[in-house]
Amino acid sequence: MRFVGSKSNGAEENDRSLFSFRSAPGLASVASLSQSLSLSTSPYLLPSPSLYKGFYRYNPKSAVWASDIICPRIRDLINWIALDSAITPSKSFAIYGCWSGSATIFDGSPVIVYTGIIDTDPNTIPWIQVQNIAYSKNLSDPYLREWVKPDYNPILPIGPGINGTEFRNPTTAWYNPLDKQWRPGVGSMWDYEGKVLLYKSKDFKTWVKATDPLYSVKEERMWECPDFYPVSVKGYLGLDTSVYGQDTKHVLKVIDGRDRYTIGTYDTKRDRYTPDATFANNKYGLLYDYGNFYASKTFYDPVKKRRILWGWSNESDTVEEDNIKGWAGIQDSLARSKWEELNSLRGSHISVTSTTVKQGGLQQVIGIQTAQADVEVTFEVSSLDKAEPFDTKYANDAQAFCKIKGPDVKGGVGPFGLHVLATTDLQERTSVFF
C-alpha cells in the first residue's frame, strides 16, 4: 500500500478537488470545461507544447445556471489562467445563450462548433437549439483570445426528424478518408429514442445530415454531451480522434442522467457504431465514475500521445448558498498516475507493506497530513469460497448496491477497503470499499 501526499496551498485547498478550477468569487458559475469545449492545441499553435487551452460555459450574471457565454482558460493542466470571454450571445443564431460544443483542428487551425439558443417564442417552445461555428481571429496570438462567428451560422439548423429543444452538444469531428469528409455527432432525442445524430462536411461550412444516426436506443431520455473517440487494443497510448483500423476500438459516451460509455466497433463505410455484446443490452454501458462527475469530454494530446478526460462536479449546496459564495461547479479530471504534471503537486511518500488486516479490524496509516492524496493499494484475499452470490439486478447500479451493503455490513468476504477523510472516532469518514 503506497500513499502519495499532495502539497497544500492553504485552507481553501481542503474543499477543492485535486484537478479543478472554479470561477472567481462573486462573478459566475462554472459549468463544464469538458461538457463544453476541450482543446489541446498543437505546439505550432502555442509557443510551448506544454500549454493547453480549454473552454467552459460561464454565467457572468449569477452563480447559477442560466443563458451562458463561453470562456477560455489556458495553461499546463494543473495551473490555469483565466482569459476574457471567447463566444458570447450577440447574434440571432445564439442570442439567448452559447452552450456546449467541441473544438476540431481543421486545415491546421482550431474551429469550434457549439450549440446556440435561438428562442423565437419562449412562451411556447423554450430553448430552441442550433449548431454554430467559430474561428480563431488571430492565429499569431499565442493564447487564441479572439473568435469570429460568421454570419452564415447556423451551420446545422433544425430539420426533419430533429426535436429543436433536444439538439445540442456537438462532438469533436473526425475525418473519414473514404469520402474525405469530416463528421461530428450531435446529441438528440426523437420519438422517445436517444440518438447521436451524424453530419458530414468537407469544408465545415456546408453540411449534410446522415440518413442514420451514429447510434440510437429506444428510451425516454435525451442523449446529452456525446463523446466519440478511438482507443488502441495494443498498448496504452492515446489516439487521434480520426484514427481507425484493425487494432482500434471506439468509445461512445452519452449522458442518460449520468455519464456512461460503451466500447465497440465503428463501421466507417456504413457510419454506424455497434457496442460490443459484453455490454448489458448494448445500451447504457459503464459509468466513467460513480461519484459526482458529469458532462464529461475527452481531448487528444498529440505531443504526449494521450487522451485526457475532463468533467464537471457540482456541489450539494442550495441555490441560495451558491449565490452567497458567488460560484458553483468545478472542473475535474479523472487523473492518471502517468501524468508527469502531477509531480508538481506531490509531497512525501508513505508506504505500508505486508500488513494483515483481520475481518472487522482496522489498520491506521500514520503521516498523511493533507486533504488530497494519491493512493495505490493492493489487497490479497486468501479465498473467495465464502463470497455470497451477487444479485445481478445491481450489475449496472453499484451505488444502489453499496447503499444496502455499506462498509459496516459484514459479508462472506469483506468488506475491505479504505476509510479516508476520517475523524479519529470514525464518526465522519468516506469509505472506499469492496
Hey, how many other C-beta atoms are within 10 angstroms of the C-beta on 214? 23
First to last CA, the chain: 16
> Which residues make Cβ contacts (< 8 Å) with residue 398, sequence separation at least 6?
287, 290
At residue 61, the 3 state secondary structure works out as coil
Structure-block grid coordinates of residue 52: 493547453
3-state secondary structure of 33: coil
Domain assignment present for residue 387? The answer is: no
Closest CA to 293 of 328, 337, 317, 329: 329
Q: For residue 144, give the C-alpha cell.
A: 487564441
Q: Quick count: other Cβ atoms within 10 Å of Cβ 121?
A: 8
Q: How many CA atoms lie within 13 A of 111 on its CB side?
A: 21
Look at the pTM and tell me if it is higher than 0.75.
yes
Report yes or no: 5 and 348 within 8 Å, Cβ to Cβ.
Answer: yes
Dist. CA 183–CA 185, nearest whole Å = 7
The CA distance from 305 to 303, in Å, is 6
- What is the spatial distance between Cα 301 and Cα 269, in angstroms, rounded to a whole number? 27
Cβ count within 10 A of residue 418: 18
User: 281: which 3 cell numbers?
Assistant: 443490452
For residue 20, the model assigns a pLDDT of 47
Residues of the chain with pLDDT under 70: 1-50, 65-69, 120-126, 220, 280-284, 335-338, 396
Q: Does residue 394 form part of some domain?
A: no
Question: Residue 157: what pLDDT?
Answer: 94
Is 211 inside any structural domain? Answer: yes
Q: In Å, how far from its chain's centre is CA 374?
A: 21
Kind and range of the H or E run holding 330: strand 330-333
Hunting for cell 479572439 — which residue is that?
146
359 CB-side CA count, 13 A: 11
State the Cα–Cα distance between residues 29 and 408, nearest whole angstrom. 38
Do the domain assignments include residue 8? Answer: no
- Give the pLDDT confidence score for residue 287 in this predicted structure: 86
- Output the pLDDT for position 92: 92
Place of cell 448558498: 321
Provide, for the chain, the percentages of residues in helix, strand and coil under a 3-state DSSP scheme, each rounded to the nearest 5. Answer: 10, 35, 55
Domain, as residue range, for 187: 19-338
Judge whether 297 lies within some domain: yes
Burial 355-365 (b: 16+ CB within 10 A, else e): eeeeeeeeeeb
Q: Give which of 88, 163, 176, 174 is closest to 132, Cα–Cα.
A: 88
182 lies in a domain? Answer: yes
In a domain, 65, yes or no: yes
Q: Which three cell numbers stand for residue 310?
A: 475532463
Single-letter amino acid code for the residue at 64: V
Closest CA to 106 of 258, 242, 296, 244: 242
Sorted by sequence, the CB contacts under 8 Å of residue 81 that are 6+ apart come out as 73, 74, 75
Looking only at the bridges linking them, the beta strands covering 294-301 and 286-287 are unpaired
- Residue 387's nearest CA partner among 356, 416, 412 is 412
CATH of the domain at 91: 2.115.10.20
d(CA 362, CA 252): 41
Return the sign of the alpha-carbon dihedral for residues 160, 166, 169, 175: negative
- Report yes or no on 421 lying in a domain: no
Number of domains in the chain: 1
